[in-house]
Amino acid sequence: MNTVIRGAQVADGTGAPLVRQDVGLAGSRIAEVAAPGTLTAARVLDATGQVLSPGFIDMHSHSDLQLLVAPDHLAKVSQGVTTEVLGQDGLSYAPVDDEVLAALRGQLAGWNDDPAGFDWNWRSVGEYLDRLDRDIAVNAAYLIPQGTVRMLAVGWDDRPATEAELARMKELVATSMAEGAFGLSSGLTYMPGMYASNDELTELCRVVGERGGYYSPHHRSYGAGALEAFAEMIEVSRRSGCPLHLAHATMNFSVNKGKAPELLRLLDDALDEGCDITLDSYPYLPGATYLSALLPSWAAEGGTAATLARLSDPDTRERIRVALEESGSDGAHGVPVDWHTIEINGVRRSENCALVGRSVADSARAAGKPPSELYFDTLLDERLGTSCLLHVGHEENVLAIMRHRTHTGGSDGLLVGDRPHPRAWGTFPRYLARYVRELGVLDLADCIAHLTGRAARRLGLADRGLIRPGYAADLVLFDPDTISDTATFDDPRQPATGISHVFVNGVAALEDTHPTGALAGHALRHPGRSR
């Protein structure tokens, strides 16, 4: 053994009560777990009074580019994340061809930026995972993005896939699973994934389920019709035989205030019938996305150029305004937009910096124009590359959902923009500080199981998520009395406090609260096994 962590209160990731123990590391693995004071090594780390946990698993991450652009990855390392799941919401950068990659770079700039001079030297999922295997700070798993697959096979049109196009999508999914993807994601309020029928999704999920993967949808509504949208995804899972993981599962907007118990009854009924369902959530009220996501699906059809053309036409702008403000567009979850709740938090052009940190309503008032006009003008000027916060959440719903027996943690964190959502830097310590220590919503050992062992089981990781001999040495050492998120909406890029050490594959990424710059992470590959 090269390192012994001595005398920590060990939360092993199962939810069992904490036990004071020594944990010995040898290379990238946990070598031994024993009574305190019994293990020796060249290096002994006194962990008296601290909690040792498996590394946290971010089940819903948007680090697809930034993990490569800024590989030290302080946002996640500093909060104890040792594994992230990328490829979320049906939109990411593999598999692609040149045309699809060019379109995605523009469409996702509000999520991931489009860094100048970046080397896009992959096209397949396998090639992307190979790229991740070179010098990253944490481990990364990948989901096949259904919207991206649809771009490759069908394009950007709102129409059913032909039989040949569906066959190609299934082939792309099968190949990507064989190359190491863990499942399939969807963004069913994002173009073009939203154009897929549930029958089409079922066919793709059948391919995933047969290979041991899972389906993680951002479903068709988190507002009006949210319960129906959750039920649709359960039915897709039931019909396809593919396990279901509900992304950022919540009940948002005024129409869903206090309705989390209805969602949980729906899930419990399905679980009791034998369905395989898990979910993730983030411990905040606002959501975040790119500003153009609010547009009705018909206005986004055809891609960026077609969307910008519609936004330039006065008659079409009025039609879009009616959909947004009066009827509720599908992109805005079927709820008429309240511009006071939409806050611009990232722009690409310096001329628009004054918009950052203000609601669309406030900026429109200052500019002397209607909010919808400011919205349209901003999208045009930014070529859709603007991000926003949506202040639409309810604390009672957040509390109820995080208590659920299948709950896991996911930041849904965007790392770019002028003032990104603080969940990118604060999700995991916030669970432990606010919802364990301060509010007592979850017991410490149980919360850690949500964030570690339970997530690893969903991913099918047989050697991560628990503190056991032979498991990967992905570990977090923290003070339960002082661990806290410090990232705020005004100052979001702030590391957590109270975390002294983070180990990724046995290498210290955080040492005595200081980042080491170690790049010991790997691309994790699902075996793509058949059932």
Q: What is the pLDDT of residues 186-228, one digit of tens each?
A: 999 999 999 999 999 999 999 999 999 999 999 999 999 999 9
Kindly report, residue by residue over 424-436, the tens digit of the pLDDT.
999 999 999 999 9
Provide the pLDDT for residue 303: 87
Residue 527: the pLDDT is 77
- The three state secondary structure string of 368-401 is CCCHHHHHHHHHHHHCCCCEEEECCCCHHHHHHH
Helix, coil or strand: residue 246: strand
Q: Which pLDDT score, from 0 to 100, does residue 528 have?
A: 57
Among the listed residues 495, 483, 409, 501, the one whose alpha carbon sits nearest the alpha carbon of residue 446: 409
Written as one string, the DSSP assignment of 200-244 is HHHHHHHHHHHTT-EEEEE-S-SSTTHHHHHHHHHHHHHHHT--E
Does pTM top 0.85 for this prediction?
A: yes
The C-alpha atoms of residue 185 and residue 91 are separated, in whole angstroms, by 8
In one-letter notation, the amino acid at residue 457 is: R
Calculate Rg over the CA atoms of the chain: 22
Distances from the Cα of 194 to the Cα of 23, 50, 200, 212, 219, angstroms: 48, 46, 11, 25, 9
**Residues of the chain predicted below pLDDT 50:** 529-531
In this prediction, residue 530 carries a pLDDT of 39
Q: In sequence order, what are the residues at sequence separation of 6 or more whose Cβ sits closer than 8 angstroms to the Cβ of residue 163?
A: none
Cα angle for residues 146, 152, 157 (degrees, 5° grid): 85
β-pair partners for 68: none
